[in-house]
Amino acid sequence: MWLKPEEVLLKNALKLWLMERSNDYFVLQRRRGYVEEGGGGLTGLLVGTLDSVLDSTAKVAPFRILHQTPDSQVYLSIACGANREEITKHWDWLEQNIMKTLSVFDSNEDITHFVQGKIRGLIAEEGRHSFAKEDDPEKFREALLKFGKCFGLPEQEKLVTYYSCSYWKGRVPCQGWLYLSTNFLSFYSFLLGSEIKLIISWDAVSKLEKTSNVLLTESIHVCSQGENHYFSMFLHINETYLLMEQLANYAIKRLFDKETFANDPILDDPLQITKRGLENRAHSEQFSAFFRLPKEETLKEVHECFLWVPFSHFNTHGKMCVSENYVCFASHDGNLCSVIIPLREVVAIDKTNDSSKSVIISIKGKTAFRFSEVKDFEQLVAKLRLKCGAASTQCHDIICVSLWSILSKAHSTFSIHA
């Protein structure tokens, strides 16, 4: 697998890597302690444990290729391989396609820039479709390599995301990595020769909950086929639990509610499911449930702002939520104030020229809503006008003349609760 070029200090790296091949510009190395037929003795045991603790790619890819230039102690890692055959293919490609070209450059700096550009181009082409939707494509590629190597699941199994955590085996925590894919929850740990590999199908999960006790302040409890599994030490446990809950629910719906999946191209095709997509879907579901909107409404953007409440004569702080067909607002304070504005009822959308960064939405029935301190309010106004086909500029001018008197008298015809 080609890697994003990163600097490696060869002086320190030689302690854990052995030289296999080299030329003027590239070095092929093997991880110390790795033996292809298995084993590796005490050295392999210690190095394997170190790789697991540090989450090193070398755990599943014990071969690598570095780019070097003469008289430099800093090398660049550009490729890794799970076996000798894979890394040899990369080495042969470099010799056939890169080596002859490098001799024409005058400086080492130009050579390095050329190699970096070539490798980044290969990575971009390789992951153009597979990783474009991931937050960090480079790290996700490495995680995908480990996921495939450790669990041996079908190639079509889609990795959604992964987390560092502890799995409790009795009263002993085992540090490792939790992998969440479309059909399985998987965990892998390797410490001092003790390997733990756990694969749980989502449709076999009978209970999923957040728990806490004397030993574990916060953990995620998974019950499958009568066995209890506990995972803890998450950096963002709420985010992890939400994604696990969604994947478990989708697995059950895929079995019993095939009509819903058939009408949803993303859920119907597991290869389209991503962490970002699941998070956006969860936010949309929460948005629709809170404002009691149709389930198909998708949350597009959220803005912190203030809403002027005419009958109370004050601005209330809250969030403006925009979907395909609605603009909604919910206040942060204890006295809930919520507004639901269907875009089909909007007759004009305008902005003020002062420093208040205000968006004014006028609807049928001579009612208007004034949202102030809206970040990027000019872009929001432009988007909303396109969405609802608001009135022309002339109509805006007429409405704005009487807008302030409307604001002081208006009583919302929508859901405003104080």
What's the pLDDT score for residue 230? 92
**68 within 8 A of 27, measured Cβ to Cβ:** yes
**Smallest Cα–Cα separation from 210: which of 242, 180, 188?**
242
What's the pLDDT score for residue 49? 53
What's the pLDDT score for residue 322? 93
Residue 37 has pLDDT above 60, yes or no: no
Residue 116 has pLDDT above 70, yes or no: yes
Question: How many residues in total does the chain contain?
Answer: 418
**Residue 282 corresponds to which amino acid?**
A
End-to-end, the C-alpha distance of the chain in Å comes to 59
Task: Compute the distance between CA of residue 277 and CA of residue 299 in angstroms, rounded to an integer.
Answer: 12
- List, for residues 190-243, the tens digit of each pLDDT value: 776 678 899 999 989 999 999 887 666 789 999 999 999 999 888 888 889 999
- The mean predicted confidence, pLDDT, of the chain is 77
- List, for residues 362-388, the tens digit of each pLDDT value: 988 878 899 999 988 888 988 898 887
Model pTM score: 0.57
